[in-house]
């Protein structure tokens, strides 16, 4: 009995595609890393990455003079005189060498975006 060459080819292609899919999926998603003096070192990649991007996420918000840092609606539920007073500034903190960070790979894994600093539950 002769084996079906088309069936063998289909099995071979299926196995190859499963392998490629698994390899591609393992390189995507979130990964922890550590900031260095000149880049970021991801836990699952042996080389430091110097060309990375940073997500601009809000840091701390401070109200200037005359404000208390809280938003209080007026009686008609609009933000009037009871709202935040004074100048409001948004402070975005940078990363320091040794900071643990959360990063994701984008563009098929060719670029890395550092999302935020991560800390233990105890702060």
Enumerate the domain spans of the chain. Answer: 29-117
What does the pLDDT look like over 23-56, one tens digit per residue?
Answer: 666 556 788 999 999 999 999 889 999 999 888 7
Q: Which two tokens stand for residue 51?
A: 């060309």
- Which strands sit side by side in the sheet containing 111-117, from one edge to the other? 48-49, 40-42, 29-35, 100-106, 111-117, 53-54
Three-state SS at 105: strand
pLDDT value, residue 123: 65
pLDDT value, residue 50: 93
pLDDT value, residue 48: 94
Query: How long a stretch of residues is the chain?
Result: 123
What does the pLDDT look like over 60-111, one tens digit per residue?
Answer: 666 666 555 454 444 555 444 445 556 666 565 688 899 999 998 888 778 8
Q: Which tops the pLDDT comparison, 123 or 27? A: 123
pLDDT value, residue 81: 47
Kindly compute the dihedral angle of the four CA atoms of residues 71, 75, 81, 83, in this order, to the nearest 10 degrees: 10
């Amino acid at each position: 009995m002769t084996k079906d060459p088309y069936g063998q080819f289909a099995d071979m292609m299926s196995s190859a595609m499963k392998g490629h899919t698994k390899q591609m999926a393992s390189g995507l998603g979130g990964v922890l890393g550590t900031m260095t003096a000149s880049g970021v070192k991801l836990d699952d990649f042996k080389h430091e990455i110097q060309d990375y991007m940073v997500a601009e996420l809000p840091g701390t918000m401070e109200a200037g003079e005359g404000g208390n840092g809280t938003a209080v609606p007026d009686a008609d539920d609009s933000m009037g005189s009871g709202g935040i007073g004074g100048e409001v500034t948004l402070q975005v903190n940078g990363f320091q060498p040794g900071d643990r960070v959360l990063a994701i790979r984008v563009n098929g894994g060719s670029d890395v975006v550092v999302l935020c600093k991560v800390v233990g539950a105890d702060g």
